[in-house]
Amino acid sequence: MRHVLLLLCLFWPTLGLTQGAATLVADRVTLNDQDQLIASGNIEVLYEGTTLRATQIIYDQPSDRLIINGPIVIQTPDGTILTADRANIDAQLENGMLQGARLVLDQQLQLAANQIDRQDGRYSQLYKTAATSCNVCAGRAPLWSIRAERVVHDELERQLYFDSATFLIRDVPVFWVPRMRLPDPTLERATGLLIPQQRNTTQLGFGIKFPYFITLGDHRDLTLTPYLAPETRTLELIYRQAFANGDLRIDGAYSNDSLVDENRSYLFAEGRFRLNDAYILDFDIEATSDKAYLLDYGYSDKDRLDSAISLTEVTADTLTQAQLTYYQTLRDDEVNSSLLPIVADVSYEIRRRPRFGGMLNMSASLDTAYRYSDTNGDAGRDVTRLGVAARWRDDLTFDSGILAEIETGLRADAYDIQDDGRFARSETRVVPHAAVALRWPLSMTTGGGTSHLIEPALHVATSRAIGDTPPNEDSTRNEFDQGNLFDVSRFSGDDAVETGNRIAVGGSWTRLGARGITSTLTFGRVYRDTVLDDFTPSSGLDTDQSDWLLAGQLRIPTGFVFDARALFDDEGEVTRGAGLIVWQNNDVSLSAAYIWELKDPLENRLDTLSEWTVDGRFKLNDQWSANFDARYNVAEDRPVRGGVGLTWQNECVTIDVSASRRYTSSDTVDPTTTYGLSGSLSGFSAGRSGGGKATACRQ
């Protein structure tokens, strides 16, 4: 028995394992007069999760060979399965032969051969081979298969080499190639041609993309995609690199087409790096040759590009940030010079707990907004701000259950203003503030287990602006919602501050259902003694009494979510509203969003905005799924975009068909319809061996 164990230990390198102790279980072990050691009867060999089953194992000492009689089944921890009728291999396992063999890689790709020869302990040569990842049923040909005179499997490189290969669909030959190479499904990354994609647009015509993936070591890769169509010659690229402290990705394309007279290109690059235990460097670069290129080729729907680089340090009590952003407009009615193309800011914030209690936050910040234009006024104004601020707050709880939040603070800003004669070159402003918030949580639980929490709230605040009134660059768009209903200031930036005396009243009701259904409802409004001009009419905050805020959310365990918010005045007229409905489970993913806003020239909205956006995906059955998306402008009674897609997938094939229409029309962009078709065979794509549910065999 000891000799049998040693010989079996030699056998494991064929399974990709190092030599070591194995466990052999057999009904009988004998030694005959021909110097053959024979184990027979329900043999099972176990080694580190790998199992070998056979009916007989013979070690022939004169020839120094192992003879294994089957049926033979070898199963490894990674899912590889090898079956054979008979095996004859030398004890060093450098050379050998398996007859009537079948190899299953990654529990999916099946290779059946009359004979498999082992060479040099690395290569397996399969003769008269049939390969498929489809479910094989008796009396019925698989959906697709590849027949080859010879297949060589390189276990080290994890590659499959086919000689004289014929691709068949239901046993009908489709095409023949003299030689080809494909990765086996256990390989995560491999240089080679990826799945071609068909793209047909009304502007560029019928085109095909041929992506080619290139590995550049263990931590870098490059994907080059020639895109050929009647109206364009395009080369796309994706470069990725992983570093020890971060990641880098670059997307780009270069085109020569008939749509414009010059070559076109774009480049998007993003990276994130941890410089040490605290500092994080982020950058995002976006550039394009012309305003229509991204939309014409479907690379992005953005109408403004923002390139930024930032450095952030976060500790338990400090926050340090520095950021530089460059904006580029792609809109026909805008020019970069008046868009605030360059914005830079640096800030530092520290938090301390003083001995007398509460929390003290102190901060300092410097930011600048620069325009190219030298025009005097809004289109050319350059502004730099230096500010410091301190804020102290504390929480109190009274015996009655009322919660109080006390806050006081001071901020000071100094401005340098150029190219705008309406403001002095230097302006300063100091803004002290104080606020008290009272909340009274009231809870109850019904006999059925449903919990209710009702929380009326009152927020009283006062502040004064002492000094000059600087231009407002960063608070021109403001949202009034449940997140800032009880804030000291509802301006989004630093240039504009909320002053005067004001009171915010409101409350919330939260219901936790016994069956997992949860809902929240928040309402409130703001009363003030001063009307602030920096709030736009559609913000709901431009008068001494704000619009009423009503917001709610409903969640159901089945995957349904409803979220909505609206602002309406005393006459019930809605100023601004938005809603979202989501329903998601294993078979359905559906969402619909609606937004409505009054026209507001101060926010560059000359007409009322009313728009629906819907998208969804439905699993029709085990093989079929459908998806759609649409965006409709209700105010103008016209569609903005729409698309549908259909996917068929089983265990070995995935086919995607799609159609979309973009109705955007301007001086530089025309409406476009795009059709797409792509397919893939499971089992060969590196790192993508998994398919859909296997097709059942009919009896």
Which domains occur in the chain, in start order?
A: 2-181 (2.60.450.10)
If one compares 500 and 13, the residue with the highest pLDDT of the two is 500
If you average pLDDT over residues 279-286, what whole number do you get? 96
Q: What is the mean pLDDT of the chain?
A: 88
Taking a C-beta distance cutoff of 8 angstroms, is the pair 108, 689 a contact? yes
pLDDT attached to residue 27:
85
Question: First-to-last CA distance in the chain?
Answer: 45
pLDDT attached to residue 9:
41
Assign 690 a pLDDT band (cuts: 50, 70, 90).
low
Alpha-carbon distance values, 445 to 165, 449, 453, 589 (Å): 71, 6, 9, 33
Q: Check whether 2 has a pLDDT greater than 50.
A: no
Per-residue pLDDT reduced to its tens digit, 548-588: 999 999 999 999 999 999 999 988 889 999 999 999 999 99
Per-residue pLDDT reduced to its tens digit, 90-140: 755 567 788 888 888 877 788 999 888 878 778 888 999 999 988 888 778
What single letter denotes the amino acid at residue 505? Answer: V
What single letter denotes the amino acid at residue 665? Answer: S
Look at the block and give the residue holding tokens 């229509």: 292
Alpha-carbon distance values, 652 to 102, 139, 176, 243, 486 (Å): 18, 19, 20, 35, 57
If one compares 110 and 363, the residue with the highest pLDDT of the two is 363
Show the CA angle centred on residue 495, arms to residues 494 and 498, nearest 5°: 80
If one compares 186 and 147, the residue with the highest pLDDT of the two is 147
pLDDT attached to residue 77:
77
pLDDT attached to residue 65:
79
If one compares 39 and 173, the residue with the highest pLDDT of the two is 173
pLDDT attached to residue 4:
41
- The β-bridge partners of 382 are 418
Q: pTM score, two decimals?
A: 0.81
Residue (of 680, 675, 651) closest to 193 by Cα position: 680
CB-based burial of residue 553 (10 Å sphere; 0-12 exposed, 13-18 middle, 19+ buried)?
A: middle
% of residues, the chain, pLDDT over 70: 93
If one compares 91 and 38, the residue with the highest pLDDT of the two is 38
Most confident of 76-85, 154-163, 248-257, 491-500: 248-257
Both tokens assigned to 557: 């365990």
If you average pLDDT over residues 440-468, what whole number do you get? 94
Taking a C-beta distance cutoff of 8 angstroms, is the pair 435, 410 a contact? no
